[in-house]
Amino acid sequence: MISLGSKWPKSALSARLLVLAIALVVAFPLLSTSDQARAANDGLSKDDQLCLACHGESGAEKAMAEGEKLSLHIKGKAFAASVHNAIGCSACHADIDLAKHPAPSKNKQTLREFSIAKVEICRQCHEDKFKLYEGSIHASLLRSGNPMAPLCSDCHEPHAVRAKAAASGPIDEVACRTCHGAVFKVYAQSVHGLARAKDPSGGAPICADCHRSHDVAAASSGNQIKEACLGCHFNALQLHKSWLPNAAHHFEAVSCPACHAPMAPRRVDLKLYDSSAKERVTEKLGVPRFESRTKLADSKGQGLDALALQSLLKEFNRDNDEGDTILRGRLEVDGGPETHMLTAKGSAIKDCKACHREGAAPFQKVSISIVGPDGRPLRYGAQQDVLQAPTSVDSVRGFYAIGGTRIKLLDILLVLALASGVVVPIGHLSLKWLASKYLPKSSDKPAPGEATSGTDTRQS
Amino acid sequence: MHELYVHPLPVRIWHWINALSFIIMIVTGIQIRYIGLIDIMSFKAAVDLHNGIGFVLIANFFVWFFFYLFSDKIRVYHPELSPMKHFTASFRQMKFYGYGIFKGQPNPHHVSVYHKFNAMQSMTYQIVMLLLVPIQFFTGVLLWDVERFQAGINVFGGLRVVDTVHVLIFIFFAGFIFIHPYLASLGHTWSAHFKAMITGYEEIEDEQA
């Protein structure tokens, strides 16, 4: 039992603090029996109701560093409906010393520093999710000092968090929208977004279903997104095999949206790949090679040509004692938001000519990429003809689309071969005819040759 | 004039299946490579036909291979081991096609059961049948299912390298398919060798005493 005599609030304290202290005295016996303390009233425990006696008032805020304000207002109704209602305020705010609350001094942290510090509180209960987050592009951005990198509280409003809110809520409420507004706008008009808006519980995917919620990776790296597509469309390969030659290879070399977002612009991304380690080449933090080497190779600034590409590959192979750095090409949609312009199956590109004819649109833009230190790709433009130059046979060995990226020199050789096939016989025949007309016939006798007799002869 | 049985039945069957299949392969190959420029059939139909006929050709190759392997007729493919003799005979043959034929000189090569190819044919067919055709089949199978044979494709330098080799040999055959029948028409009559490849009997002019 705590003696209140010596700690009774002095008249100098604010009226608000006095109310809080009185409320605490009344509520204190209930703290030791928290299971019984859950009150039906508003769905909040009496302890939490006491907190909300102050924090429930709108406009409550605290001064932070650099003139920022931290809102102290908690919406009681939302908190009561949240999953955190079950653990109550004190579970996360155990650092609050009721005797000194509220602290009179100004907080020296910025809002961002405050939020980063609070991540550790989330971690205490959500260690599994935190581990996933640590491997994510979001955590990578945080480590690199990106001020926009999302923290737990940026996606999960801690005082209103609901069980799997992202999975069943209206699409407008999805947290990803805050940072990825442009993507969301396109998604909302896609086959997935429209289906989701029509029936939120119908199973149409929203952001986290494809990109995952905590271990979200850069969309263009790895196979995470492809696996997400195939997670729902599990028989897609079989369906494609029924009409698409080399379907399995198409699944590797062409991203799903490249055909299923038919209105989106496309490009070929030639990814630097370590064939011995069987992984994409990654830029090491603090050792920027890609930008300097691409700029050096592209002295004219017009994009890497076939020879510049060869020289760039040589540079990366010098770093790679054991393996062979190659380029693995992939046909993708050009642009993150555009990747989400997915349409209904019937509208997908199914005409082989779209890619396999000369000058096909998807091969008019080419980039070279490496995985950046934060997991996002670093790209540099290449000239379109790197896909067709004879000198690219080795450097772009990992990407080839019949017809669409054919080598012009081979076309010339084919024309010469066909022309020779026609012209040589016609020319020879013409000479023979002219000779028979104008040259005297030779009186040569057959040269003695090999025996013409055999066991299988007959007279004619 | 007498007739000599030079082309056994299995060889004739192999030859005509080969001839027809090569024409289809070249037409479909051109269609696949130049879709949009030439539209004889759909890309899908061209690919399916190209793949199917490709396997027919592979099977047919083994008809040829096993026939010659297990018969004494393999002697027709025995190489001339003396380079001097080989090049002298080749030069004599080239001289005939480039000059002698215009003067009405007789063909210096005399067909026999075990020596049906002239020196130029002998060298060409050894290269074609033992090098180019197997490479073409091999690269074709790799390209038929790129994912299944990805490891093999990588060993040979990647998809673009394998395809370039396939196309280079295709270009050779595209020219060859015109030259071959023309040369076949240079018998004592234009149709003599064609008939021989149907009946099996070559018409041989009797040597004058």
- The domains located in chain B, with CATH, are 2-204 (1.20.950.20)
- What's the pLDDT at A146? 84
Q: Are residues A387 and A267 in contact, defined by beta-carbon separation less than 8 angstroms?
A: no
Cβ atoms of residues B184 and B193 within 8 Å: yes
- Give the residue from A386, A402, A405, A432 with the most B CB atoms within 10 Å of its CB, the best one to mutate: A402
CB atoms A439 and B4 under 8 Å: no
The pLDDT of residue A27 is: 43
Please tell me the distance from the alpha carbon of residue B95 to that of residue A278, in angstroms, as a whole number: 57
**Mind listing the pLDDT tens digit for each residue in B115-158?**
888 888 888 888 999 999 999 999 999 999 999 999 899 888 88
From residue B3, give the alpha-carbon distance in Å to each of A286, B74, B81: 84, 21, 29
Amino acid residing at A41:
N
Mean pLDDT for chain B overall: 89
Contact assessment for residue A250 and residue A362, using Cβ atoms and an 8 Å cutoff: no
What is the Rg, in whole angstroms, of the alpha carbon atoms belonging to chain B? 19
Residue whose C-alpha is closest to residue B147's, from A185, A80, A247: A247
Q: Who contacts A193 (Cβ-Cβ below 8 Å, separation ≥6)?
A: A171, A187, A204, A340
What value does the mean pLDDT take over residues B37-65?
A: 93
Set of chain A residues whose Cβ sits within 8 Å of the Cβ of B101:
432
- B209 pLDDT above the threshold of 70: no
**Radius of gyration over every alpha carbon of chain A, rounded to an integer in angstroms:** 35
Contact B178 A418 (CB under 8 A): yes
Residue A296's φ and ψ, nearest 5 degrees, are -70, -40
Euclidean distance between CA atoms A291 and A314, whole angstroms: 15
Quote the minimal CA–CA distance from B24 to chain A in Å.
15
Q: Which of B5, B95, B156, B171 to mutate to test the interface with A (most CBs of A within 10 A)?
A: B171
Residues on chain B touching A450 (C-beta within 8 angstroms): 109-110, 112, 115
Res A380: pLDDT: 92
The answer to whether B182 and A411 have CB atoms below 8 angstroms apart is no
- Collect all residues with Cβ–Cβ distance below 8 Å to B167 and sequence separation of at least 6: A406, A407, A410, A414, B33
pLDDT tier, A442 (very low <50, low <70, confident <90, very high otherwise): low
Which tokens belong to A356? 């396999």
H or E segment to which residue A70 belongs: strand A69-71
**ipTM of predicted assembly, 2 dp:** 0.91
| Residue B27 confidence (pLDDT) | 94
Cβ(B50)–Cβ(B42) below 8 Å: no
Torsion of CA A131, A136, A141, A142, to 10 degrees: -20
- Token pair listed for A432: 């023979």
Please determine, for residue A5, whether its predicted confidence score (pLDDT) is greater than 50. no
Q: Which residue of B has its CA nearest to A360?
A: B36
Q: Is A414 on the interface with B (CB under 8 A)?
A: yes
Q: Is A424 on the interface with B (CB under 8 A)?
A: yes
- Intra-chain end-to-end CA distance of chain A, in Å: 131
A397–B161 CB contact, under 8 Å:
yes
Residue scoring higher pLDDT (A402 or A14): A402
Asked which of A64-68, A88-92, A265-269, B187-191 is least confident by mean pLDDT, the reply is A64-68
Q: Is the peptide bond before A373 cis (omega within 30 degrees of 0)?
A: no
Question: What count of CB pairs under 8 Å joins A to B?
Answer: 186
Average pLDDT over residues A327-355: 88
Report how far residue A49's alpha carbon sits from residue A47's, in angstroms, rounded to the nearest whole number. Answer: 5
Give the predicted TM-score (pTM) of the model. Answer: 0.80
Task: Kindly identify which residue of chain B lies nearest to residue A390, measuring between CA atoms.
Answer: B164
Residue from the list A352, A407, A440 with its beta carbon closest to the beta carbon of B164 = A407
Query: What percent of chain B has a predicted confidence (pLDDT) above 70?
Result: 99
Find, among A132, A122, A47, A112, the residue nearest to A85 by Cα.
Answer: A47
Mean pLDDT along residues B55-75: 90
Q: What ranges make up the beta strands (E) of A199-311?
A: 266-274, 279-280
Amino acid identity, position A373: P
A413 at B interface, C-beta within 8 A: yes
Q: Does A429 touch chain B (CB under 8 A)?
A: yes
Q: What is the pLDDT of residues A275-298, one digit of tens each?
A: 888 888 888 777 788 888 888 888
What would the two tokens of residue A199 be?
Answer: 């029936």
